[in-house]
Structure 1
Amino acid sequence: MSMVWVVLLIAAGFVGMAWRRRAGRARDQDRYAGAQRWRDGRFHNVAATRKGNITDVAKLYWLARGIRRTPREALPVAQVRREVLDGPTSQALRVTWLGHSTALIELDGLRLLTDPVLSDRASPFSFAGPKRFTPPALSVEQLPPLDAVVLSHDHFDHLDHATILALAERVPRFYAPLGVGQRLQRWGIDAAKIVELDWWQETQLGPLTLAATPAQHFSGRGLNDGNSTLWASWVVLGSRERLFFSGDTGMHKGFAEIGERYGPFDLTMIECGAYNEAWPDVHMLPEQSVAAHQMVRGMTMMPVHWGTFDLALHRWDEPAERARALAAEQGVRLVQPRPGETVSPDSPLQAPWWRSFEKESMPQRSIKTSESAT
């Protein structure tokens, strides 16, 4: 084949991709025309957000070379209780933490799985990207029967392609923010199983009410799809108990409105990890995580989004230590289960299990991390 034909074929490929992107944007424009945060072909936060530019982030990574962002050894997980795996689904609220933001929620006889990532890496590649330093507490095959999967957004550490495909035939419902369901359909998930919600929209799952609520974050899995899908927090309302799951988010005023509309919450699963001053508006410092719990009128707080992947510049155990100290100072009821452990709103505070894997005392804070919540 001559070079002319090679150039023409490459050019035709680029034209085809550009046409498909334009066609996709046109379809999305019609699909999300009534969405609250959709404009100019993208979803937007209520407030302006800073995510940090690549130069600043690269400098911070250079400065953070001395901070141990992974544990000294692989962390074991607790054996999941037999009644969680084989017994009847709990009517009372209980949560089994599987690592990061993946949790098995039981309430009113139903089981929900949040942001399932059960692969070795939070990455599009099996050979590169953030590798978990604790194995998942359960494999997909070991999971008990599920009634639904609840997704907060489409980042790789919250939406794992391999895990979703493995769950496809086992889960009757997938609840997702706008646009994320379209991704699932492209992966082969039956559209009849998918429920997409905008912020403040509600849906019923048997006796439970699920509501997608605001978050302050961003989305995307590639170079050209930034903010093409929505991000959300979630409210789960049972007959007697209520749970709030923050997803990934920076501090925002919407927490107070969530608390007013749906609180108080018996248990909150609040993001606490992957924070830094370079991206102050899309992830929360531990001080902000505790404040968010209080704003939504939470009773017991369970920090998530820590202890599994190296996604920032702080020590791997810093989020747990800071959340624990802050909760004690402010009188916040806290649970900090080991991956695989099951907790309920009235569970006692667990011992700081992570300390047994670190021989040295709690050291320096992360590089350029502010100490005050906004």
Structure 2
Amino acid sequence: MPKNPYYTGPESDHFDGTRFFNPQGVEPGGLGALLKWQFWENRSKWPAQLESPFPRSRPAARIDGDALRVTMVGHATFLIQVAGLNIITDPVWSKRASPLSFAGPKRVVEPGIRLEDLPDIDIVLVTHNHYDHLDITSLRKLHQAHAPHVVTPLGNDTIIRKAAPSSKITVMDWGDRLELPNGVTVDAEPCHHWSARGMGDRRMALWAAFVLTTPAGKIYHVGDTGFHDGINYRAAADKHGGFRLANLPFGAYEPRWFMKGQHQNPEEAVKGMQLCNAAHVAGHHWRTFQLTNEAIEAPKEALHRALDQAGIARERFRPMHAGEVFDVPTA
């Protein structure tokens, strides 16, 4: 077996001693499928640059009491302000979601908050190690400016420490719970995805969703996931009872024959909202980097159709734009 460069630990129901896996799940497509997608599928053309309908945000220093505020930076990067804590998810401020500065998916919409305009950051949640979620340049800059506590699934600490060796990092397995300040806890929960930074490290670091339990309610942050028959959504509802807010991906889903196992589409995201019992959703993973084939506005159009068909008010599931501020209702 190849050596795992990131993690050494006991086997489990989702780790075989070298690689992590989704129990009863679907493995990501191999090289042949990737080449078929790249050379035989048609990709919609995105604009090289696009403005957000919202201005860049200058966030408040802190949010307390029952308030819950979420500001979209872009892709899966949110600033969550709750219970006096400032939390960043999957921070990517770089121009490209790529190991290369000159090639790979390029940002088409500027970040909704400039790095220098961030308030003091306490916690950073990194769900997995794909380049559109784990960006070492952004993590290094956040460490230099804020020295936040980084929380991430097993194995990803090895990557992050190369960028910021002195970072405070907590690694979590599925089912682990971590106590944070101000009466906040974070649980690492399963999602149906995978990991890789290159050709030889596939599934050698874990991926996870996070549940924040706060005095202002529960927040479910899913960075990337396939729908997986709703298994993980049902489990989250059974364990946590429901959520004031879920941050759910609803873009980067075409072609379905290649993406279905790892990226849910808008219709599946709406089903996930219902199954996990989320009162409100901040939708992400769209309109920032072109990773897949669909047109830039297609996820929002499909989302609205799915919400209308399900009889769910559109304002309950927001397709978040860079700079958009969402003060999440209490009921």
Query: Hey, what does 1:265 align to over in structure 2?
Result: 243
What is the Cα-based RMSD across aligned positions, in Å? 2.2
| Matching of residues 23-34 of structure 1 within 5 Å | 28-29=7-8, 32-33=9-10
| CA–CA separation in structure 1 for the residues paired with 2:159 and 2:137 | 13
Query: Hey, what does 1:134 align to over in structure 2?
Result: 109
Gaps of 5+ in 1: 1-17, 348-374
Provide the secondary structure at the position in 2 that maps to 1:216.
coil
Match of 1:52 among 29, 32, 37: 29
Question: Shift in Å at residue 225 of structure 1?
Answer: 1.0
What percentage of residue pairs aligned between the two structures are identical? 30
| CA–CA separation in structure 2 for the residues paired with 1:124 and 1:251 | 27
| CA–CA separation in structure 1 for the residues paired with 2:7 and 2:89 | 26
Q: Is the 8 A contact 1:208 1:238 kept in 2?
A: yes
| CA–CA separation in structure 2 for the residues paired with 1:195 and 1:40 | 21
**Greater RCO, CA 8 A, separation 6+:** 2
| CA–CA separation in structure 2 for the residues paired with 1:111 and 1:199 | 23
Task: Identify, as 1 or 2, the structure richer in helix.
Answer: 1
Query: Hey, what does 1:244 align to over in structure 2?
Result: 220
| CA–CA separation in structure 2 for the residues paired with 1:73 and 1:183 | 30
The residue identity in structure 2 corresponding to 1:315 is A
Q: Is the 8 A contact 1:36 1:198 kept in 2?
A: no
Change (3 A) 1:203 1:70: same
| CA–CA separation in structure 2 for the residues paired with 1:254 and 1:68 | 31
| CA–CA separation in structure 1 for the residues paired with 2:158 and 2:219 | 26
Q: Is the 8 A contact 2:73 2:322 kept in 1?
A: yes
Match of 1:88 among 62, 65, 90: 62
Query: How high is the TM-score relative to the length of structure 2?
Result: 0.90
Query: Hey, what does 1:284 align to over in structure 2?
Result: 264
Change (3 A) 1:165 1:47: same
Give yes or no for the alignment of 1:147 onto 2:127: no
Aligned length: 320
Match of 1:176 among 146, 152, 158: 152
Q: Is the 8 A contact 1:131 1:310 kept in 2?
A: yes
Question: Shift in Å at residue 64 of structure 1?
Answer: 4.4
Match of 2:275 among 288, 295, 306: 295
| Matching of residues 155-174 of structure 1 within 5 Å | 155-169=130-144, 170-174=146-150
| CA–CA separation in structure 2 for the residues paired with 1:175 and 1:113 | 10
Question: Shift in Å at residue 58 of structure 1?
Answer: 3.8
| CA–CA separation in structure 1 for the residues paired with 2:45 and 2:132 | 17
The residue identity in structure 1 corresponding to 2:220 is F
Gaps of 5+ in 2: none
| Matching of residues 65-80 of structure 1 within 5 Å | 65=42, 67-71=43-47, 73-76=49-52, 78-80=54-56
| CA–CA separation in structure 1 for the residues paired with 2:37 and 2:19 | 29
